[in-house]
Amino acid sequence: MDTFSTVELAPDSKILEKKPEKSDPLTLIWTFVVTCMVMAWMVGEMGLYSVDSDLSYYMGVAGGVMMLVLLLYPLAKRARFLQSMVRLKYWFQYHMMLGILGPITIFFHSTMKIDSINGAVAFYSMSAVFFSGLIGRYIYTRVHRGLYGNQATVDDFKKQLGIDAEAAHSRFSFAPGVDALLQRFEKKTLPQSHSWLLSPIRFVVRPLRFYWTRMRATRVLRRAVRHYGKQHNWERKRIQRQVRNGGAIIRQYMSSIERVAQFRSYERLLSLWHYLHVPLMLLLVVSASIHVLAVHMY
């Protein structure tokens, strides 16, 4: 007996069930940063203190020290004796915390006003590192298990989503056209080889492929279910239910594949981000050192 005649198509409850989304503190961080920048500018406009005052000087020292201390994190990743003192994930927490507090202190130190070339280079270098760090933080959480967790893998992500290619394909054994479309979609969306040159093209084409494949697969499914139902004298309600449930399975599986593709994109972005963030950090160290020397020499 054909299993399809006795088994109902049903969406996978593991994928269908939506987990409550965790609140992302990035919005709160951005709000806090922008508020502090506005307040620092208002301090300068109101003349509460000048950049030549002792208060401004000591805020500059405090901000500089915090940004020096945060450099211990990249050292801790390579120096085992530092990891024996403090676990690496805590070094990372200090790095992120000081990476926010340090620049904000410098914003108040400068009151958002630039009076010299060396100060301008140091300020804009710091700002570039600061904002690239916030962007990196966003990408980081997309490829790690939580903010301070280990890096996840594509297989972990598939398991989390409940993706089972064989199970999805076997459900459509009665409709080879649907099965072929799903396999082709997965192959195109999750290619074995990656090219940076083709990534922008894939980014544009991927949504179009998703909706086109889903539309075609649903059409093929509807035709196959109706044909099968007529052969086995199914009631109209059962045919409609099978079409509806089969469409949900197609949507769930394709959406999960799409999320895995997004995960891979974030992995590549994180790798590219490191190539940008590290040189900016070196530029900041050099420009800040020159600024400090210039302040104390003149």
Pair (124, 183) in one structural domain: no
Tokens of 279: 């040189």
Pair (142, 175) in one structural domain: no
Q: Report helix angle 26-46 to 88-110, nearest 10.
A: 30
Pair (178, 41) in one structural domain: no
Cα–Cα dist 227/21, whole Å: 41
Residue with tokens 């120096």: 79
Residue with tokens 């270098």: 125
21 in a domain, yes or no? Answer: no
Question: Could you give the 3-state DSSP secondary structure of residue 22?
Answer: coil
Range of the domain at 176: 154-271
20 in a domain, yes or no? Answer: no
Cα–Cα dist 108/104, whole Å: 7
Q: Cβ distance 246 to 221 under 8 Å?
A: yes
Mean pLDDT of 82-98: 88
Pair (186, 291) in one structural domain: no
Give pLDDT tens digits for 145-197.
Answer: 554 455 555 565 555 545 555 665 567 777 788 888 888 888 888 877 666 66
12 in a domain, yes or no? Answer: no
Give pLDDT tens digits for 50-61.
Answer: 888 999 999 999
Pair (280, 145) in one structural domain: yes
Pair (36, 145) in one structural domain: yes
7 in a domain, yes or no? Answer: no
124 to each of 62, 112, 164, 242, how far by Cα in Å?
18, 11, 49, 60
> Which of 34-38, 48-52, 178-182, 275-279 has the largest mean confidence?
34-38
Is 144 a residue whose pLDDT tops 80?
no
Pair (114, 259) in one structural domain: no
Pair (132, 278) in one structural domain: yes
Is 98 a residue whose pLDDT tops 90?
yes
Mean pLDDT of 70-91: 87
Domain total of the chain: 2
Single-letter amino acid, residue 5: S
| Number of neighbours of residue 297 by Cβ within 10 angstroms | 6
Mean pLDDT taken over the chain: 81
Pair (191, 293) in one structural domain: no
pLDDT at residue number 5: 47
Banded pLDDT at 15 (limits 50, 70, 90): very low
